[in-house]
Amino acid sequence: MSAALHGHLNVVEFLVQNNANINLASNTGWTALMSAAQNGHLNVVEFLVQNDANINHANNDGITALMTAAQMGHLNVVEFLVQNGAQIDHADNIGWTALMLAALHGHLNVVEFLVQNGANINLADNNGNTALMSAAFNGYLNVVEFLFQNGANINLASNTGWTALMVAALHGHLNVVEFLFQNGANINLANNNGNTALMVVDQRRHPDIVKFLLSKLTIINILIEPRYFEMKPYILTESLKRPDFVIGLALIGVSLYGLYKLAHYKKS
């Protein structure tokens, strides 16, 4: 395994030719093939597979050689493994797949290859998280765009009700938030705690996202959800800058002075 890990093909060849067990696993279930794949040693991977290494062996966490290669962005290794029978949608113990791992780490070329070779783009892990959510989490706009263009469900929610839009908003990725909204992400969806994308944003760290999301809400959306004001006083003060919001308040007889005082009281 050590020789495979460090890419020493001549040593690996010698050991195999002298009856080393090619599929022997460590206490954590790692094999020589997995070690070589993780570190991108394609020549070692090729030799091991050609000499009957189990391409779909999973370690104690359910991770395979394909998954570790995808996570590290080794496209040439991923291509070889898939072309030689690696199970593309195999999931580990927590439900992660090679596609999710590649998306999480922003490896667009690996994501493209996996999808083009049949990876299920909308598979979810044990918590209901998808590859799209993983890419949104780390702000990889190019991966988000590709996944959406190839059929990713933009409004799919995790087991706790979180969507890709909420995840991107929480972590401050404005470009991802804008793309998702412009392509049909529902700004009014709420997670299991009743929070929308606007509610989960840290207004002090990401005021640009607050402003963007607020600009996309209608006056009705804002008025029927009192928690926008209770949780985010900044939202109220920003709303008062919108002519349509002010006119709407006047039409229903709400005191602008009272709302202004409330906003400044909550900010202090």
Mind listing the domains of the chain with CATH numbers? 1-120 (1.25.40.20), 220-268 (no CATH)
Q: Give the number of C-alpha atoms closer than 13 A to the C-alpha of residue 241, restricted to the C-beta side.
A: 7
Q: What is the pLDDT of residue 217?
A: 74
Per-residue pLDDT of the chain (268 residues; tens, 9 = 90+): 888 889 999 999 999 999 999 999 999 999 999 999 999 999 999 999 999 999 999 999 999 999 999 999 999 999 999 999 999 999 999 999 999 999 999 999 999 999 999 999 999 999 999 999 999 999 999 999 999 999 999 999 999 999 999 999 999 999 999 999 999 999 989 999 988 998 898 777 888 998 888 888 765 565 556 555 554 555 555 555 655 554 444 444 444 444 444 444 444 4
pLDDT confidence of residue 143? 99
What pTM does this model have? 0.86
| pLDDT for 135 | 99
Residue 214 pLDDT: 81
For residues 73 and 80, give the distance between their C-alpha atoms in angstroms, rounded to a whole number.
Answer: 13
In this structure, the dihedral spanned by the alpha carbons of residues 205, 180, 133 and 105, taken in order and rounded to 10 degrees, is: -80
Burial group, residue 9, by CB count within 10 angstroms (0-12, 13-18, 19+): middle
Cβ atoms of 134 and 156 within 8 Å: the answer is no
SS3 124: strand
